[in-house]
Structures are given as C-alpha cells and as structure tokens.
Amino acid sequence: LDDLLGEGVRGRYVLVRADLNVPLDGETITDDGRVRAALPTIEKLTSAGARVVLTAHLGRPEGAPDARYSLAPVARRLGELLGSEVALAEDVVGASAHRVVGGLADGGVAVLQNVRFDPRETSKDGAERGQLADALVELVGESAAFVSDGFGVVHRKQASVYDVATRLPAYAGGLVLSEVDVLRTLTGDPNRPYVVVLGGSKVSDKLGVINALLPKVDQLVIGGGMAYTFLAAMGNSVGDSLLQQDQIATTKQLLDEHGDKLVLPVDVVVADRFAADANTQVVPADAIPQGWQGLDIGPRTVERYAGILGSASTVFWNGPAGVFEFPAFAEGTRGVARAIADSSAFSVVGGGDSAAAVRTLGLDERSFSHISTGGGASLEFLEGKDLPGVAVLEGRA
C-alpha cells in the first residue's frame, strides 16, 4: 500500500478487496470488527485523493442476488465510521455499479453489492472467474490499481481475491501485511511455551491444523463441540453431546501419538436441550449422563486451562470453548479469553467467532497482542498451506 501511495493516487481508481463479512441479526451488525479493521487502508487512500471502490462478500449466497446477504448494512456502518457518504451499487458490475463508480469524486468511497451474487466469483473454472475479474477491471478502468486487504478471504481462489490481482497492478493493504507478519511469527520460532487453544464444533474441520500444529506446540488445549469426539475416543460416554462418530478412529490415533500434548476438559456444563433457557448442571467430563449434552467447559477445566495459559509465552486461540451466544454457556469462552488477556504471553486470537467473542463478552481488545480478522485464513496459514490471495501478490511483487 505504501508503494502505491508513493506513486500518487489522486484521482485514480483503486479497487479494494476487503473482508466485510460481519455477523448480522436481521439488518443489525452484531460485531463490526471487520468493518473497523478495513478503515485504515480506506482512509489512507481517500486522504491521498484516490477514488475507492470496495468489493466484498457477505455470507454464502448461492450466486444470485439475495436480500438477506445485502451489503447495505455494511455500507451504512462504513459511512458512519468514515463520517462521509458511502454509495452502494445495487449490483456487482452492472449498470448501477457503473453509475456509482462513474460518479465518485476524488477521495470518495463506493461499495459494490455482494460480489458472491455473481456466480463467477466462486467458480472453480478459472475462465469464468476471469470474466468477472475482467468486468471488475472494466468498471474501474485499466489505469486503476488493486489493493488486497481482505485477509479473511486470502485463502479463497476467487475472482475478486485472486484473478483480479493478475490483471491490475496489485498491492497488499495494511491489514493483509500486518496479519501475515504476525502469523509468520507463529510459524517461525515462537517463544516457548507455545500453547494453542482450539475450539469449534467439528474435529473434522480442524484435523489439518491439529496435525500441523502438534509437532510445533508445547500444549494443544481443546474446547468446544469437538472436545466430545475426543472424550468419546478416550472411551467415555458423551450422552447427547455433539459427536463425529466417523472421526473417532482418527481422533484416537491423535491421542495415542500425542496424548502428552493434548489437553482435554475435566468437567463440562451439560444441558437437557440446545436452548438458552435449558436446565443445566456441571458434571465430570467422563460422566455425561444420557439425555444431556455438553455445551460448555466446566469451572475446573477453566481453572486448569487458565493455569496453562498463565505460564505460556506464546498463545494462539481459535474457536469458542462453548455455545457462548447463550449466556448460560459463555463462561468457558469468557474464562479462556480472560486467561489469555491476563497473561503476558504474545497472544493471537484467530478470527471469526473467537474475535467476536472477545468483543461481545466485554473483554478489552487491547489486552491481546493481535486479533486476526481471518478465521479459516489464519488456520490455513498456520497449517502451512499456500494462500492464493497472498501468493498472487508475492508473484506480482
């Protein structure tokens, strides 16, 4: 981005891919962290007089306009935060987009409608994606520049992330740069003890990162729904808890090979149904009664995890420890987050739900060294995978 600013951008169109994929309750944004994270790059460009055209996705619409996934609430919030008008095009590269982009003044900002309303964005066919990338280039003109600042999507080989970067002079935005810098310290030689806390519902989604991390970490602490597959693999009955039966053998092998590093809950909060007002009780993790399901880690587990985190020098945390959206099952996630916030370790919160949890559970974001905007992207980075949206920038550079 600094290179681009050094070239001078007054009056030049700059297409910025941001990750503005925020959680919504109807039309209300419940966590605007990703919108705020996009501001510094946008503000640097507008102060330098660029005409900023933002492209982004929201949710996973099926390649067609769908009002539930409109970027309208995001454009409104962006306008409030920037303190200036942000125009929203009603389409991605159609007549409305051309009108809105054509009407941009120097230092102005426009948002294109959800890029995933166009099926070519996520197509596996490079030629199809290329057509959308060409249409984006046509929209902003061939003298435009592209800034990739949506770290949360750099693991996606999609038209607005990857293909467009092969067609316009392409630059990394400040957010992408800082995220990559921080995550590289974790894949490099982090200070020890290096502790990773992983939560989330499915063990199958995390197997790649678990396998990649186990040789590198000192302890891998497990929470969330996936803990029950681990507990079942140890031979415990888990009642009605979430269980991936088909992952038990793999999970058992992980425990056999790395049991010394894997840390599992010793007690859990169980509920008689999946509801905010369910009846609850705390039970030992090896004695979950039939008819009950584990929805959070218990207080003894929180204490144990807090002890491990308190003596860590480097911490990475991804995935809530329980169903924190329901207050009755938020204490585990709050306890883990607080222990990380209180520790003097270099701490990285890996995006998505965990970042939202930090903010919605009322913790101070400044107590963490870095809160990543990328969920899947940060995990794939730690797993050592090539991220197409980063690789394409490195190739261009």
Q: Which stretch binds ligand 3PG (CB under 6 A): 90-98, 150-158, 259-267, 291-299?
A: 150-158
Positions in 171-230 near ligand 3PG (CB under 6 A): none
User: Binding of ligand 3PG at residue 121 (CB under 6 A)?
Assistant: no
Which three-class secondary structure string do you get for 213-242? HCCCCCEEEECCCCHHHHHHHCCCCCCCCC
211 labelled ligand-binding:
no
CA dist 304 and 285 (Å) reads 13
State which of residues 10, 60, 68, 192 lies at the interface with ligand 3PG (CB under 6 A). Answer: 60
- Give least dist CB 21 to ligand 3PG, A: 3
Cα-Cα-Cα-Cα torsion 334, 336, 337, 342, nearest 10 degrees, comes to 120
Name which of 62, 82, 92, 73 is nearest 22 in CA terms.
73
Q: What stretches of the chain show up as alpha helix (H) in DSSP? A: 2-7, 33-47, 72-82, 95-102, 126-140, 174-187, 203-213, 227-233, 248-258, 299-310, 331-342, 352-360, 376-383, 388-396
Q: Is 153 in the site for ligand 3PG (CB under 6 A)?
A: yes
Q: Binding of ligand 3PG at residue 318 (CB under 6 A)?
A: no
Q: Which of 12, 17, 33, 34 is catalytic?
A: 34
C-alpha closest to that of 177 among 321, 13, 303, 3: 3
Tokens of 376: 């899947």
Looking at the Cβ atoms of 298 and 375, the one nearer to ligand 3PG is 375
User: Least distance from C-beta 115 to ligand 3PG, angstroms?
Assistant: 11
The active-site residue out of 199, 350, 352, 374 is 352
Note the helical H segments in 59-195: 72-82, 95-102, 126-140, 174-187
CB 334 → ligand 3PG: shortest distance, Å?
A: 22
CB neighbourhood size of 64 (10 A)? 10
- In the chain, what's the furthest Cα-to-Cα distance? 66
In the set 202, 252, 300, 359, the catalytic residue is 202
Interface stretch with ligand 3PG, choices 124-132, 151-159, 323-331, 361-369 (CB under 6 A) = 151-159
CB neighbour burial string for 216-255, b if at least 16 within 10 angstroms, e if fewer? ebbbbbbbbbbbbbbbbbeebebbbbbbbeebbebbbebe
Rounded to a whole number of angstroms, the minimum distance from the CB of residue 96 to ligand 3PG is: 24
Residue from 12, 44, 77, 156 in contact with ligand 3PG (CB under 6 A): 156
Query: Which residues are CB-contacts of 70 (< 8 A; sequence separation ≥ 6)?
Result: 58, 113, 114
Q: Give the list of residues 6+ apart from residue 201 with CB closer than 8 angstroms, or none.
A: 224, 225, 226, 242
Instruction: Pick between residue 48 and residue 172 the one whose CB is nearest to ligand 3PG.
Output: 172
Residues 6+ apart with CB under 8 A from 246: 204
- Rounded distance, CA 346 to CA 317, Å? 11
Q: Is 34 a catalytic residue?
A: yes
Judged by beta carbon, residue 224 or residue 376, the one nearer ligand 3PG is: 376
As a residue count, the chain comes to 397
Catalytic-residue membership of 366:
no
Least separation in angstroms between residue 234's CB and ligand 3PG is 31
User: In the complex with ligand 3PG, which residue's Cβ is closer, 25 or 364?
Assistant: 25
When CB distances to ligand 3PG are compared, the closest residue is: 21
CB 217, min distance to ligand 3PG, A: 23
DSSP 3-state of 109: strand
Of 8-47, binders to ligand 3PG (CB under 6 A) are 19, 21
In the complex, least distance from residue 11 CB atom to ligand 3PG, rounded to whole angstroms = 31
Interacting positions 325-384 with ligand 3PG (CB under 6 A): 352, 375-376
Task: Could you list the residues known to form a binding site for (2R)-3-phosphoglycerate, using ranges.
Answer: 34, 116, 156
Q: What residue ranges bind ligand 3PG (CB under 6 A)?
A: 19, 21, 60, 152-153, 156, 352, 375-376
Catalytic residues: 34, 202, 352, 376
Residues annotated within the binding site are 19-21, 34, 57-60, 116, 156, 206, 294, 325, 351-354
Question: What residues are designated binding site for substrate?
Answer: 19-21, 34, 57-60, 116, 156
